[in-house]
Amino acid sequence: MSVNQTDPMIGRLIDGRYQVRSRIARGGMATVYLASDLRLERPVAVKIMHGHLADDENFKERFIQEARSAARLAHPNVVNVYDQGQDDESAYIVMEYLPGITLRELLQEHKVLTPEQATDILEAVLAGLAAAHKSGIVHRDLKPENVLLADDGRIKIGDFGLARAASANTATGAALLGTIAYLSPELVTRGIADTRSDIYALGIMLYEMLTGEQPYKGDQPMQIAYQHANDTVPMPSAVNPRVPVDLDELVQWATARDPDDRPRDARAMLDHLFDLQRGTVQPGMQQTRVLPAAMAPTLRNPTLPQGPTGDTQILGQAPAAGQARHRTGPVLGGDTNAEALARKAHRRRRSGFVLLVVVVVLALLAGGTGWWFNFGPGGRVAVPSMSNVSVPDATAKLKAAGFAVSSNQVKTFDVAIPSGSVTGTRPQGGASIQKGSTVSLVVSQGPRLLPVPTVLGTQEEGAKAALAAFTVGDSSYQFSTEAKGSVLAITGKDATGGTEDLSHATTYGEKQPVTLTVSLGPVPDVTGEALATAQADLEAVGLKGQQTDSQYSDGVPSGAVISQADPAAPVHQGATVGLVVSKGPQPITVPDETGQTISGAETALKALGLQVTYKDCKPAAICTALNWKNILTVATQSPAGAATAHKGDTITLTYNAIGIGG
């Protein structure tokens, strides 16, 4: 699977929902991309029609017909179609994403499949095709390229782009659609297809799986088309003698030139295949039909008398069981009883010796056959199942089981198995194949590298949707000056399991773990609040408020928070915020100012933050002239010396005066 980073579609958001990640394949009508469905958070395959075909209404209608046809099917062996639409003049189809290979790639790698492998694939394709035929849909383009083999073992039919209603029987004219190697005779000669045309294509595919080649070859397409219309598909066993007779006959039944001589649809052929597997049908019994002369001998029992044309004949009646014919009457030739008994004894001895020789030969043949198929070159052995093992260990395990290991490894992306480790084999583990066969190792390249979208500064939910191609874990939250809910950082795991900063990374492994660091907003400012209120506000956002000190404060009421000490960044939920709580204004011990001049006492008390009051001296003219505050002394004060006061409290002074009114 190639990835073309120069493709302008890569990175594009289709219809506001499908984020294109990489290109999977390119065909004649469309290109298929791997994309992320941002709404349902799953990988999908998006088929986008080529831009130069957008103006061709016939192509567009055929493209849309694929979506409508396939969407009508819901079957485990048919690729699911999820959506269809048009974005910027580009028609698209959204389908199930199925990582794996096609049957064509499997045939290119292994050439010939075992009868068991071919039967498994045939059964799955017939099951999906039966669902299509039941829904009135003819595929019209069955070929190995359209059979998908998923990495998890599922087998599905895809690409219903040429599908038509089964009752339409519409001629295509000169432009025969589909691949010439799999076209039925009626499509070649009359341009008409129905369910039996799909059966013909499937018969050709079965022949190719069993022999590693197509039945008809030619330098020009018309040469191959002529053979389809005029020749009879040969038996696969003519090319591969190991093909059993029931599969020989199944190929000939499915590829009969006359559509009436084929199975009527995929269900009929699938039911017959099940009967063959159960052993309820013997070769040559799959259907009642008149065979062409070229095919008739292949289905007749060569041990029975044959007519010149293979017609049904009335045979002479054989003796019933237990009614062997006996000679009666006297012994011919006039022999005496003694002579007859002697000859009979001699015959018994001779037949006994012959019987002994036959038994010995049969025993030797049975022993040789058993050795050949169990311990010798003809033995079939199950391929060992293995996953997440090293290449040397996997190689040793396969060789110990009697297989050769191909030097050409099958590379695949795997989100769970590290790069360089074996994820499986081709053929897959558990398959029964000939001892000594070559097995290829499927080796992980690690996860597919996908572009990392820019999510810093975006809101958490939108970032998670944009990262749907990765495995987004639980977010990490911390307090910051950024807005609540915005992404502060994005991290992943490197090859050693350590933390990797992805904030500025361009690519990252598909389905690999991703963690977002998200802002909880700033730590709340609780200064000036009562201690209990401040602690409740901090607890509401997941923080703890703890009193760490208390201080006198002239500006903050007693019991309120003077200041807070936030923890060092990063601040996570559960952290403790230190709080300094006010004790109110600091108390003052009032000095004893009795005996001090009014001026001196006033200066000393005001220096402590206290207010001073006293009566004015009278008469004012004399008092001012005498500078009375520096002459008169304090007689009493209230509160008295040693009393406790607070900044701003008032101290009242009295004084005695001689000759001056006070």
Q: Which residues are catalytic?
A: 141
> What angle separates helix 103-110 from helix 195-211, to the nearest 10 degrees?
20
Contact 288, 240 (CB under 8 A): no
Peptide bond just before 427 cis, omega within 30 deg: yes
Provide the CA 455 distance to its chain's centre, in angstroms.
23
- Token pair of 245, please? 């007779």
Helix (H), strand (E) at residue 119: helix 115-134
Contact 487, 516 (CB under 8 A): yes
**Exposed / middle / buried, residue 346 (Cβ in 10 Å: 0-12, 13-18, 19+):** exposed
- 404-405/650-655 β-pairing: unpaired
- Token pair of 652, please? 């009242």
Q: If you write DSSP's letter for every residue of 527-540 in order, what string do you get?
A: TTSBHHHHHHHHHH
| CB atoms closer than 10 angstroms to residue 366 | 10
- Token pair of 58, please? 């016939």
- Token pair of 141, please? 């383009």
Nearest alpha-carbon partner for 189 in 213, 164, 225 = 225
Nearest alpha-carbon partner for 415 in 335, 511, 329, 479 = 511
List phi, psi (to 5°) of 57: -65, -30
Cross-strand pairs, 96: 44
Q: What separation in angstroms does the CA of 274 have from each of 113, 126, 298, 463, 477?
A: 20, 11, 22, 51, 59
Q: What separation in angstroms does the CA of 526 have from each of 521, 548, 554, 572?
A: 15, 14, 18, 18
- Token pair of 223, please? 């040469």
Size (the chain), residues: 662
List phi, psi (to 5°) of 620: -60, -35
Question: Strand, helix or coil at 458?
Answer: coil
Nearest alpha-carbon partner for 137 in 198, 81, 63 = 198
**Sequence letter at residue 375:** F
